[in-house]
């Protein structure tokens, strides 16, 4: 008999588990034996149901008294849910025979298998079985019939058992993991067990921000004597759509028809809006299909029109194309089948379609005589208002020109162009893919269209002898890329997933009761972190997760209820710990916004900041303990540092836009306008590893984006086989050029010398930290006047003993919002976990 344990051991690696079957006790009439708690509830309910207003069987099931719901089992590493079977009819011996490959980075005492009966609202607990971590950590295969226990951890009276098989493989022993080896070689096969495989012979362009300022010229030398050349994202999107021959497919969280992609008065195309461009292409004969997220809180009914909580303009977009040849479908984030009523409501109202893709034919760069190819854009930049920006990230100077019709400032209630700046500057990352991987992006769109856009209706059959899925680059082309497409999505948003469990598992798909989930973006991040050798650079709109490892008893919502269970922060801290233990250098740089977009004093923003602080503390606690155990005298920020971006702008001596109105007195808006400063909003979702490998996509580092059953997301991971590092040669391809160009954008006048070329070196880390601290001091100063010499700022925290986080200042400049956030009792799914 396996007794539950209390001693925690680290499980860092992969668990291959299989839930085979269960043996459940039954009553004399053949029904499943209820637990004592259910028996007590039934006694009370037997009296209530005699009342004339309570004769409904559904009510009994809804409050968890029915035992005839379908059966499913879950896998938890202590309190972190990591797997769930499909649902079976209630029988004495349910046989799931379902396998799971589980990435783990948990300190745990038990692996817990739970059996439940599904109900219309929630589920009824049958019991839990416990497999002690100590029995699996050695790595041998374990196969057992475990006792199923009640909530007091006592075996059920009927002798109920569950049959499980499990084997743990440590991270360094995982043959597919490549721990610490980097991307490896030209034969590296990509992230294993994913829906889309790695594709060779691709071309990639990486974009920082929507546009490149005329004066921004990164001085980045590449291997072979080349120089990195940044490209203009929205200008490329415009040209690709304009060159499309047969099709333009767009999927977006928000698409604003009035946005101008090109804003150069020297170019005649600059006056054409996105909506006008798409209508023109449709009139020319191209099939233009759009999947735009349907915000259920928005209303498009004349006088009661409401823009919705997210202000995505979805109703305006649909209305603009009504009566044209453009087919625009508003897509709600529908739940998949067989979820509970509560889960259905949660999915449809709280979560979104967050992918941002543009797919066109005829815009390839394979040469004038090559067949027309396919071009796919994806990343973090929505085709909507507020996104157009350059590396200068102006606050006031473009309000009378470039941003006169594109003023975006959602952090101040009532902000408008009539009241003046500061606008919210926008930093983002996007990419363009050609070759076989571009077709995977197309497959994603077609799967979604078949689910929510009307089946195969209107889809263009490109690969029927017209546009072969051929490589965009020759096999011997040094500039060729290997690219793999990843997603967070489920069967409620995409058609074509295999429904047989073993077939789904072979493609990296997991079950959620009876719906199929892909979470390969999280797998890609984990895989890249584990393979990293020297450094990791991250830019992301959010950074919170691994809540199972947060400090307990911190107030607010219980840690277990926050449910931000993805592994990325814990994987980062464990990578750093492993390097400290080995006596090797390693550095992680993380750039996030100063606060999540929105009113900074609001409860939702403050709650997210609190959870971000708890994530940081968890990581710094791991690092601090490792430094102490090694006997080092080191600052945890020598290994892990958080940054943000900001700007201050002196008045333009040549004159600038003069607003006809002013902000209300004694408001954040007025104070920021007087100080002429504001954060640059970091909306990027990218990670660079060792200057070799890059991930770009729409996914934030939070549970919404990494879960698979919440927001739908898409990303790509890519590298150039010809430019991988060797013992004698550092990586000096396009990924390196892109990373250094980003650093030159952020560091500004300080970005000089060779320090930027070796991010893992201690002198580089400390130099970047020093420059960022100077920028923060200038930004936060009440006496500083002038332009900031650079935008990269130290995130305003101090790391103390045991990794404890305090603020450099209690409140963000010009606000009354707490830097460390405040504890909240708001249910996490309502926010952005």
Q: Which residues are catalytic?
A: 354, 356, 361, 683, 685, 690
Beta carbons within 8 Å of 607's beta carbon, 6+ residues apart:
556, 821, 822, 823, 824, 826, 831
CA 665 to chain centre: 38
Q: How many CB atoms lie within 10 A of CB 276?
A: 14
The whole-angstrom separation of Cα 500 and Cα 298 is 38
**Residue 549 CA: distances (Å) to CA of 279, 559, 741, 790:** 51, 9, 35, 35
| 373, two tokens | 């190819």
Residue from 117, 111, 127 nearest 90 by CA? 117
| 226, two tokens | 């080349």
Within 507-554, residue ranges assigned H as helices are 520-531
The whole-angstrom separation of Cα 269 and Cα 243 is 13
Beta carbons within 8 Å of 287's beta carbon, 6+ residues apart:
246, 247, 248, 327, 458, 459, 460
**Residue 113 CA: distances (Å) to CA of 81, 116, 126, 549, 643:** 10, 10, 11, 20, 40
Residue from 343, 162, 76, 150 nearest 84 by CA? 76
Contact 395, 677 (CB under 8 A): yes
Residue from 641, 664, 676 nearest 769 by CA? 641
The whole-angstrom separation of Cα 83 and Cα 247 is 40
E strand or H helix that includes residue 572: helix 568-582
Main-chain dihedrals φ then ψ at residue 806, nearest 5 degrees: -125, 170
SS3 100: strand
The conformation of residue 552, written as its DSSP 8-state character, comes to S
Q: How many CB atoms lie within 10 A of CB 561?
A: 12
E strand or H helix that includes residue 612: helix 603-630
SS3 252: strand
The whole-angstrom separation of Cα 718 and Cα 693 is 6
The whole-angstrom separation of Cα 15 and Cα 467 is 42
The whole-angstrom separation of Cα 770 and Cα 236 is 37
The whole-angstrom separation of Cα 22 and Cα 789 is 65
Contact 695, 716 (CB under 8 A): yes
E strand or H helix that includes residue 22: strand 9-23
**Residue 204 CA: distances (Å) to CA of 435, 471, 479, 830:** 9, 12, 9, 36
Give the gyration radius of the chain's Cα atoms: 27
Pairing of strands 515-519, 481-490: antiparallel
Rounded (5°) CA angle 282-285-286? 65
Contact 15, 164 (CB under 8 A): no
| 422, two tokens | 């500061």
Instruction: Calculate the CA dihedral of residues 412, 413, 414, 416 and round it to 10 degrees.
Output: 30
Preceding omega of 779 cis (within 30 degrees of 0): no
């Amino acid at each position: 008999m396996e007794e539950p344990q209390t001693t925690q051991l680290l499980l860092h690696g992969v668990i291959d588990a299989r839930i085979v079957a269960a043996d459940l006790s039954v009553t004399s009439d053949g029904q499943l034996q209820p637990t004592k708690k259910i028996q007590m509830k039934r006694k009370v309910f037997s009296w209530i149901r005699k009342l004339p207003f309570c004769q409904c069987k559904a009510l009994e099931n809804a409050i968890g008294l029915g035992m005839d719901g379908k059966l499913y089992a879950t896998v938890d590493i202590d309190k972190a849910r990591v797997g769930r079977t499909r649902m079976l009819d209630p029988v004495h011996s349910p046989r799931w025979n379902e396998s799971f490959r589980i990435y783990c980075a948990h300190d745990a005492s038990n692996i817990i298998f739970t059996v439940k009966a599904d109900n219309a609202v929630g589920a009824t607990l049958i019991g839990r079985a416990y497999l002690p971590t100590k029995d699996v950590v050695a790595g041998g295969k374990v196969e057992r019939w475990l006792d199923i226990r009640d909530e007091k951890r006592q075996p059920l009276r009927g002798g109920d058992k569950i049959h499980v098989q499990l084997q743990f493989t440590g991270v360094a022993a995982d043959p597919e993991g490549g721990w610490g080896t980097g991307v490896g070689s030209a034969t590296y096969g990509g992230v294993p067990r994913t829906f889309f495989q790695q594709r060779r012979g691709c071309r990639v362009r990486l974009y920082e921000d929507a546009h490149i300022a005329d004066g921004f010229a990164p001085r980045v030398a590449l291997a072979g004597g080349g120089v990195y050349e940044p490209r203009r994202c929205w200008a490329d999107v415009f040209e690709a759509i304009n060159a499309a021959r047969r099709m333009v497919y767009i999927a977006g969280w928000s698409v604003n028809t009035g946005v101008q992609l090109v804003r150069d008065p020297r170019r005649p195309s600059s006056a054409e809006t996105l909506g006008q461009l798409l209508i023109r292409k449709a009139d020319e004969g191209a099939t233009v299909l759009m999947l735009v997220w349907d915000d259920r809180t928005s209303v498009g009914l004349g006088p009661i029109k409401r823009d919705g909580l997210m202000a995505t303009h979805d109703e305006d977009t649909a209305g603009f194309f009504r009566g044209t040849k453009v087919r625009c479908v508003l897509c709600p984030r529908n739940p998949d089948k067989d979820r509970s009523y509560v889960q259905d409501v949660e999915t449809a109202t709280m979560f979104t379609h967050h992918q941002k893709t543009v797919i066109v034919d005829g815009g390839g760069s394979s040469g004038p005589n090559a067949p027309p190819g396919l071009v796919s854009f994806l990343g973090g930049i929505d085709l909507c208002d507020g996104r157009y920006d350059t590396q200068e990230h102006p606050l006031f100077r473009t309000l009378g020109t470039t941003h006169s019709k594109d003023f975006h400032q959602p952090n101040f209630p009532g902000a408008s162009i009539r009241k003046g700046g500061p606008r919210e500057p926008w930093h983002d990352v996007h990419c363009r893919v050609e070759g076989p991987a571009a077709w995977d992006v197309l497959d994603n769109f077609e799967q979604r269209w078949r689910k929510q856009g009307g089946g195969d209706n209107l889809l263009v059959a490109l690969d029927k002898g017209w546009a072969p899925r051929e490589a965009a680059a020759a096999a011997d082309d040094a500039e060729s890329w290997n690219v793999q497409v990843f997603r967070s999505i489920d069967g409620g948003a995409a058609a074509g997933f295999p429904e047989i469990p073993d077939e789904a598992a072979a493609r990296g798909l997991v079950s959620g009761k009876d719906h199929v989930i892909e979470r390969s973006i999280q797998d890609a991040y984990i895989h890249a972190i584990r393979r990293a050798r020297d450094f990791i650079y991250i830019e992301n709109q959010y950074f919170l997760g691994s809540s199972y490892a947060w400090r307990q008893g911190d107030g607010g919502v219980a840690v277990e209820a926050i449910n931000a269970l993805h592994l990325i922060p814990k994987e980062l801290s464990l990578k750093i710990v492993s390097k400290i233990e080995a006596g090797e250098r390693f550095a992680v740089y993380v750039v996030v916004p100063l606060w999540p977009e929105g009113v900074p004093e609001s409860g939702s923003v403050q709650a997210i900041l609190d959870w971000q602080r708890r994530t940081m503390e968890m990581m710094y606690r791991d690092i601090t303990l490792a430094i102490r155990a090694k006997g080092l005298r080191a600052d945890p920020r020598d290994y892990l540092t958080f940054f943000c971006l900001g700007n201050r702008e002196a008045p333009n001596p040549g004159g600038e836009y003069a607003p006809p109105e002013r902000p209300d007195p004694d408001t954040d808006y007025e104070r920021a306008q007087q100080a002429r400063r504001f954060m640059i909003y970091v909306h990027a979702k990218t990670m660079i590893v060792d200057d070799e490998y890059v991930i770009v996509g729409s996914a934030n580092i939070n549970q919404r984006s990494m879960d698979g059953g919440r927001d739908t997301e898409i990303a790509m991971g890519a590298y150039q086989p010809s430019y991988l590092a060797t013992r004698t040669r550092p990586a000096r391809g396009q990924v390196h050029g892109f990373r250094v160009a980003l650093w030159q954008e952020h560091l500004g006048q300080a970005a000089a010398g060779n320090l930027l070329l070796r991010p893992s070196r201690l002198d580089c880390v400390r130099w970047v930290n020093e420059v960022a601290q100077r920028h923060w001091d200038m930004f936060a100063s009440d006496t500083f006047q002038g332009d900031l010499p650079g935008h990269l700022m130290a995130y305003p925290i101090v790391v103390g003993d045991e990794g404890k986080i305090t603020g450099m200042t209690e409140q963000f400049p010009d606000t009354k919002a707490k830097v460390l956030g405040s504890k909240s009792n708001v249910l996490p799914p309502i926010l952005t976990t």
